[in-house]
């Protein structure tokens, strides 16, 4: 099978399997081609990324995530209105009701990505994000789902709303973007810290400091594919099969054996998302 044109070459396989706990298999960037779902999952499994969380950011994407998770045993779904989509929606209450309905499906393990994004949404629309975030927290609790938080330039308000609503049993800080102090504040609330390809960027020493102080049983890894591609492929499209670059870099930062870090990430992801689900066996040649 020839890799879809325009995508980076796959790295060497990891010594133990890990989970990509946040990706968008339905999203294309800069007009690029999508890798077909079966090929994307096979390519990932071939390098040791054997399970996936497909994340919806609006109603269409959330419904698609559920459909894919029903068809692909190695995939579970997360459903939500992304904070920027929530702020722009003209039918937010109906949207939230549909997310509530979708969250009841057994293939849905998480509600998210929800949260706050002060980078793309101005102060006038932030109250809508706050309302949506609160409702997603309540949906996650109602259905006993993991809460997956998108936090961009809004650290203090994210924690304030969490504290006000009451922290769910399982919380994942998607694409963790804070420093060591914020990491400690999140861990104190029981959150898992999910590191994306950004941790490999030259200007991201603050993320590496956060990684170093994170308890080993609270560390996850993700792609946020097709975004946030790790070095050495920054600027190219991202996919789950590139996670080995991030994991190996994280192991260097932690001065830990790659095998041990893989085992920790895999076990942590099971706890973070409410239990194990089947792994994919790669069929690519």
Which residues sit in the known binding site for a divalent metal cation? 22, 24, 113, 150, 174, 224
Query: Sign of dihedral through CA atoms 170, 176, 182, 187?
Result: positive
120's enclosing H/E stretch is: none
- Under DSSP, the state recorded for 214 is S
**DSSP reduced 3-state for 54:** strand
Q: Count the Cβ atoms, other than its own, within 10 Å of residue 75.
A: 24
Mark the binding-site residues, compressed into ranges. 22, 24, 113, 150, 174, 224
Q: Which residue has the tokens 């420093």?
A: 179
Q: Is 193 in contact with 186 (CB distance < 8 Å)?
A: yes
Spatial CA neighbour of 256 closest among 198, 202, 217, 203? 217
Task: Residue count of the chain, please give it.
Answer: 285
Spatial CA neighbour of 185 closest among 202, 200, 165, 167? 167
- 34 burial type by CB count under 10 A (0-12 exposed, 13-18 middle, 19+ buried): middle
Tokens of 233: 């492929």
Tokens of 229: 């591609």
């Amino acid at each position: 099978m020839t890799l879809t044109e325009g995508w980076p070459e796959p790295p060497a396989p990891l010594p133990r399997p890990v989970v990509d706990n946040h990706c968008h298999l339905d999203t294309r960037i800069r007009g690029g081609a999508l890798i077909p779902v079966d090929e994307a999952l096979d390519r990932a499994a071939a390098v040791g990324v054997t399970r996936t969380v497909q994340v919806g950011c609006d109603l269409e994407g959330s419904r698609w995530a559920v459909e894919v998770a029903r068809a692909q045993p190695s995939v579970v779904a997360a459903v939500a209105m992304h904070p920027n989509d929530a702020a722009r929606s003209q039918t937010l209450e109906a949207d939230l009701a549909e997310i509530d309905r979708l969250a009841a499906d057994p293939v849905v393990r998480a509600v998210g990505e929800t949260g706050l994004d002060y980078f793309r949404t101005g102060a006038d629309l932030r109250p809508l994000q706050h309302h949506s975030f609160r409702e997603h927290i309540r949906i996650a609790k109602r259905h006993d789902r993991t809460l997956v938080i998108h936090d961009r330039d809004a650290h203090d308000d994210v924690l304030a709303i969490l504290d006000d609503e009451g922290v769910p049993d399982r919380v994942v800080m998607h694409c963790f973007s804070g420093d060591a102090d914020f990491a400690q504040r999140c861990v104190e609330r029981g959150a898992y810290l999910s590191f994306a390809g950004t941790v490999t960027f030259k200007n991201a020493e603050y993320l590496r400091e956060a990684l170093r102080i994170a308890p080993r049983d609270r560390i996850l890894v993700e792609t946020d594919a097709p975004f946030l591609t790790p070095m050495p492929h920054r600027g190219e499209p991202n996919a789950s099969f590139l996670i080995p670059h991030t994991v190996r870099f994280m192991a260097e930062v932690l001065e830990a054996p790659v095998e041990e870090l893989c085992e920790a990430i895999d076990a942590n992801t099971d706890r973070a998302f409410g239990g194990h689900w089947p792994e994919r066996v790669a069929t690519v040649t």
